[in-house]
Amino acid sequence: MVLVGLAVGGVTLQVMGPPGGRVARSPDAQAAVAPARVVAGPIAAPGPIAAPGPIAAPVPITAPDAELLEHAPGDPSAALLPRIAADGRAPMRVYAAGFDPATQAPRIGIVIAGVGLDETASDDAISALPAAITLAVSPYAPAPENVAAAARRAGHEFLISIPLEPAGYGLNDPGQHALLTGASPSENAQRLDWVLSRLTGYVGATGALGDMRGERFADVPEQMDPMLATLARRGLLYVDPRQGKARLPHVWSRAVDVVIDDPPSAASIDARLAELEERAHNTGAALGLIGVIRPVTMEHLVAWVGSLGGRGFALAPASALVTAPEGATPGGVTPGRATPGGAAAAGATTGGATTGGATTGGATVEGATTGGATVEAKPPGGRPPQ
């Protein structure tokens, strides 16, 4: 009841800010419009806050596109996996939530993991929270596509959570489909395909699975790098749940800055949210993670986010906060030319076809080809306002 009563404030924040609000467009109409070019560059430092834009309802996320899906190689009966389309469109751009890249306010993003395990709690969170909050759906959810459809209608972009071997493995169980440091590369690749096939229409993945964050797996480059290269080749971004980690290779990514519900007490949650604001104010952007949907966390989050715009911050989806792969020039080969699917700048290596001195993860830079189509590659950056 608390979530419902406070939902109005959260929705008002999303539809009134950031400046230049989106005009609602039907999913069919939006799907016919190619993603607009977003000039990449550093996130703007805090500056004057412009007047709110026009009020508009949250724009639904684009429905799953068959051109962005494929069967597992050699197994036409298998579930569908994401891919970069022949015309160069990447899932991390097509399925990104709307965000005005020109906003000058400090950006704050929130990722909520564990979505779908408790369907009632997940539905309440989806309807109560602003559309700019990114959701991470558990592959172990009993009906992941139903949760994804609800999130899509409400305008939330979403990720798929990849179970990775966590700290304290043995006491902390990531489930039977987890990628493990002791498993063979081929076995981990099969498990990754299973996870990625659990639902469609997501912008990327994260290693956040409830309160587990896959630390042990992520600390082994020989295992982690092939996973990241696969995500890049499929046009996906990655949210690293380990606090404050550096840019990752291969893939467009962002590490979380603050784990909001660790521990999940009211006083600690409020302190973590204040810490998130301070970091965004000082650096221009910050990303918070909530591992589990709990009543106390949702109550404090909804109350906090309802006044966020009034304090001079812009709520942003995770796709608007990711940066280029390690070793790549942010924005791509030249300013304003970035890369989908984790492609790197000239001279960098990410595992795929070579273009202009760069090895890309299946994505392209200008003049390169994907599936026979020549495209100019772009960063995710959130869908521009429609």
> Does 10 reside within a domain?
no
> Does 12 reside within a domain?
no
- Greatest CA span in the chain, whole angstroms? 57
Q: Is the pTM above the cut of 0.85?
A: no
CA distance 377 to 338: 6
Tell me the backbone φ, ψ of residue 320, rounded to 5 degrees.
Answer: -90, 0
> Does 250 reside within a domain?
yes
Q: For residue range 307-353, what is the model confidence (pLDDT) as tens digits? A: 999 999 999 999 999 999 987 754 332 222 233 333 333 223 333 33
Q: Is the Cβ–Cβ distance between 76 and 47 less than 8 Å?
A: no
Q: Cβ of 297: how many Cβ atoms within 10 Å?
A: 21
H runs (alpha helix) in 164-236: 185-196, 215-218, 221-233
> Does 84 reside within a domain?
yes
The pLDDT score that the predictor gives to residue 58 is 76
Tell me the backbone φ, ψ of residue 80, rounded to 5 degrees.
Answer: -85, 145
The pLDDT score that the predictor gives to residue 327 is 77
CA atoms within 13 A on the CB side of 260: 29
> Does 126 reside within a domain?
yes
Residue in 191, 131, 153 with CA at minimum distance from that of residue 385 = 131
- Give the sign of the dihedral formed by CA 318, CA 36, CA 198, CA 186: negative
How many structural domains are present in the chain? Answer: 1
> Does 380 reside within a domain?
no
- ω into residue 18 within 30 of 0, thus cis? yes
> Does 383 reside within a domain?
no
> Does 306 reside within a domain?
yes
CATH number of the domain encompassing residue 163: 3.20.20.370
Helical (H) or strand (E) element with 93: helix 91-94
CA distance 276 to 49: 19
Q: Cβ of 344: how many Cβ atoms within 10 Å?
A: 31
Residue in 48, 3, 2, 12 with CA at minimum distance from that of residue 308 = 12
Residue identified by tokens 């412009």 is 50
Q: Which mean pLDDT values do the consecutive 10-residue runs of the chain (386 residues) have?
A: 38 32 34 31 34 54 97 75 97 96 95 97 96 98 96 98 94 94 95 95 97 95 97 98 95 98 96 98 98 97 96 97 80 30 32 33 33 42 54
CA distance 93 to 35: 7
Question: Looking at this protein, which amino acid is placed at residue 343?
Answer: A
The residue range of the domain holding 219 is 60-375
